[in-house]
Amino acid sequence: MIKIYIFEYYLSFSMFVKNKDMPIYSFKEFIPVVHPSSFVHPTATVIGNVIIGKKVYVGPNAVLRGDWGLIRIDDGCNVQENCVIHMFPGTTVHLEQNAHVGHGAIIHGANLGKNCLIGMNSVIMDDVVIGENTIVGALSMVKSNEILPPNTLAVGNPAKVVKQLSQDQIDWKTKGTEYYQRLPSDCKESLKECKPLDSIEDHRPMQTSDYKTWKSS
């Protein structure tokens, strides 16, 4: 009996992955809008009143729930794997151009300014405004109604502004976001479901980059 359940789960999951339209759902006559240059991973879920601009990357298992309000994601943004975007009824979540939402973050009813960065597993609560170029450190929690000024670094629970960002730091963040802006076209060209190899092939190439973590750059 257990083997049957496992087989049925595997079969249903495989069908889900292969059906590229499955994660996009209308809700109460609201149909999501996704620009053709953007990429939504087949395991992500996009529901209802969601508008996604150009060259946006939405990663695996991300959930964009536009059932109670509008989620507007402007050009060049990224929403990485396991992120959740939602809101209180009747409100709007707005990610302005080049906003960068790191792995596992939760955005609930907030507005993210241009070129900001939300660190991994951070929580941004209702009616928060994140300023342009501002960075919220990983594992931070920004309380409801907070306004973080532009060009600052905020960290902690609750998050507090700890410094002004230099232009070099802003440029470093911008360069990282540019990598994600290339991902939609890269995924469309080369991301394919496959079977794993049994062993490492000879002369397996290495992935290299001139982009480093801040302290290493």
Domain positions in the chain are 16-169
pLDDT in tens, the chain (217 residues): 444 444 344 444 443 444 455 589 999 999 999 999 999 999 999 999 999 999 999 999 999 999 999 999 999 999 999 999 999 999 999 999 999 999 999 999 999 999 999 999 999 999 999 999 999 999 999 999 999 999 999 999 999 999 999 999 999 999 999 999 999 999 999 999 999 999 999 999 998 888 888 876 5
Domain 16-169 falls under CATH 2.130.10.10: no
CA distance 201 to 192: 19
Exposure of 122 in the CB half-sphere (CA atoms within 13 A) = 28
Give the pLDDT confidence score for residue 14 in this predicted structure: 41
Number of helices and strands in the chain (H, E): 2, 20
CA distances from 43 to 13, 18, 62, 89, 116 (A): 10, 10, 8, 25, 25
d(Cα 30, Cα 51) in Å, to the nearest integer?
A: 10
Q: How many residues does the chain have?
A: 217
Tens of pLDDT along 76-102? 999 999 999 999 999 999 999 999 999
How distant, in Å, are the alpha carbons of 9, 10, 100, 118 from that of 2? Answer: 11, 12, 42, 41
Amino acid 217: pLDDT: 53
The two tokens of residue 114 are 């241009």
Q: What is the pLDDT of residue 21?
A: 52
What is the rounded CA–CA span in Å between residue 129 and residue 133?
Answer: 12
